Amino acid sequence: MFEIKNLLNIDLDNQVFIKPDYLNHPCISGNKYRKLKYNILEAKRLNKKVLLTFGGAYSNHIQAVAATGKEFGFKTIGVIRGEELADKIQENPTLSFAKQQGMEFQFVSREAYREKTTDSFINNLKNLFGNFYLIPEGGTNNFAVKGCEEILTETDKTFDFICCPVGTGGTISGLINSSFPEQKILGFPALKGDFLQEEISKFANNSNWELILEYHFGGYAKINTELISFINMFNERYSIPLDPIYTGKMMFGIFDLIKQGYFPKGSKILAIHTGGLQGIEGMNKTLIRKKLPIIN
Ligand SMILES: *Cc1c(COP(=O)(O)O)cnc(C)c1O
């Protein structure tokens, strides 16, 4: 647990702490490790030998499934959005890492990828790859939520607010389920999405939560120079790296809310650092191409 001291150089009446949940495993980062834990046990129980999942070019989830498969002795298949990536594996740090871990790819067009949850799409995959254990895009299912219920521990009871980034909603659902009733869970969606409220309600069994919708920076993986300078300032000052897709946006949001006086005086705030640092390299390649400042 790290305390963020000298917040913004102003004497504020809130205390902010970071739980570095990305240090839980050397190469399966943060919440993706939590989300896979019980899925792996279930796949073993069902005697499956192959894990199949879905993701985009720089997906933390693809990275994590590839590394988990290698570690626990599963063959892994990644269904990847974007046919054009098939001959760009070497230039893409996420995909080349996944390949090194033994992942086999099936590249599909964006149109086909949208159909990935339909029976006909899944049956096609079964014809191609045989019997597999399917993990949804982003990894969220009941097993994933159960894993994320283990992020908070008894000692976290002292916090008034618990903050986390939100992608598909599995992580925040786990936090909600294991929180104490007097705590409030704030989710910072990394994308524009009206579906999240409903998705989280499917898994969460408490109502002590809220989504803060103002810090997606235009959508999933969209960033700007203000966010990059914030991430660089944060790392310089606190020696904690943030990723541009999830944790950077959340922490930017927390600081902004503090400045606005959102939190009552004396609040203790816990930010969950969910990992995602593997995505920095890929993002920097894009930033260099666009001649924009990079993440240090
Ligand atoms: C995937 C991811 C999230 C979002 O988790 P969900 O359970 O999909 O909401 C947050 N942070 C990081 C670093 C991630 O990789």
What residue segments make up the domains of the chain, in order of their start? Answer: 5-24+141-289, 49-131
Which of 286, 273, 287 shows the shortest CA–CA distance to 243? 273
Fold that domain 49-131 belongs to in CATH: Rossmann fold (3.40.50)
Task: Give the nearest ligand 1 atom to 60 CA.
Answer: 15
pLDDT digits (tens, 9 = 90+) for 250-282: 999 999 999 899 999 889 999 999 999 999 999
Q: Do domains 5-24+141-289 and 49-131 have the same CATH topology?
A: yes
Question: Residue 246 C-alpha to ligand 1 middle, in angstroms?
Answer: 7
Contact 54, 78 (CB under 8 A): yes
Residue with tokens 């704030």: 186
Task: Give the nearest ligand 1 atom to 35 CA.
Answer: 7
Alpha helices in 5-148 (DSSP H): 30-45, 60-72, 93-100, 110-114, 119-129, 142-148
Contacts of residue 211, defined as CB under 8 A and 6 or more positions apart, other chains included, come to: 166, 186, 187, 188, 189, 196, 197, 200
Question: Residue 232 C-alpha to ligand 1 middle, in angstroms?
Answer: 21
Question: Residue 222 C-alpha to ligand 1 middle, in angstroms?
Answer: 15
**171 ligand 1 Cβ < 6 A:** yes
| 133 phi/psi in degrees, rounded to 5 | -95, 120
**138 ligand 1 Cβ < 6 A:** yes
* Percent of the chain whose predicted confidence (pLDDT) is above 90: 88
pLDDT digits (tens, 9 = 90+) for 107-152: 999 999 999 999 999 999 999 999 999 999 999 999 999 999 999 9
CATH 3.40.50.1100 fits 5-24+141-289, yes or no: yes
**DSSP at 118:** S
Could you confirm whether 207 is annotated as catalytic?
A: no
